[in-house]
Amino acid sequence: MKVVNLNPIQWVNYNVTPKKLKLSNTGYTVMLSATWREEEPYLYGGPFVSSYVFSQLHFHWGKTDMDGSEHHVDGGSMPMELHAVHYKSDYGTQIAALRQHDGVTILVYLFQIYFRNIAEFRTLCDEHKMPILTNRQPLQDRDNRNVFHVCPSGSRYATLLPISRDSDDKYIRDINK
């Protein structure tokens, strides 16, 4: 085995609040995409010779807490998997990049379930410790899907993307506020 020393991956503009977030129910997964006021987030360095622009992220999960990920570690599945999709900036768009062998890179995050009592998540459950699902909709068939935007004013949601600190913005709010 040959050891290769790589420079760290550089994450650029991932701390910038998006102009608009779009959460889509594709009938197969839930996808989060965004539009940006200025330059889109991108990464470079590490194993990447060029820069790769963030396109979207989506999730894979299963019917039980024991399976759901597309990828396996040591022969076992994880409950959920997140794909952060990026396209090579040299190709201009993800559609053009998809035609190239090096056009798209996907960062994969595998999730495990831990049974810990986290105070910040208590506000997401009712007095019976059941999740509050007032605005939840099940995944729909592709022919009968709804697309909606996640911009709840005054709501207490967590997000994987940067959180707006502007009181006038109507983006996803920090769960600790």
Q: Where are the domains of the chain?
A: 3-171
Radius of gyration for the alpha carbons in the chain, expressed in angstroms and rounded:
18
What's the pLDDT at 26?
80
Length of the chain as a residue count? 177
pLDDT at 13: 94
Query: pLDDT tens digits, residue range 75-104?
Result: 888 888 899 999 999 999 999 999 999 999
Q: Assess whether pLDDT exceeds 70 at residue 9.
A: yes
Whether the pLDDT of residue 171 is over 50: the answer is no
- Provide mean pLDDT across the span 126-143: 64
Contact 40, 57 (CB under 8 A): no
The pTM score is 0.65
- Domain 3-171 part of CATH 3.40.190.10: no
Please choose, from the candidates 64, 56, 52, 69, the residue with its C-alpha nearest in 3D space to the C-alpha of residue 21.
Answer: 56
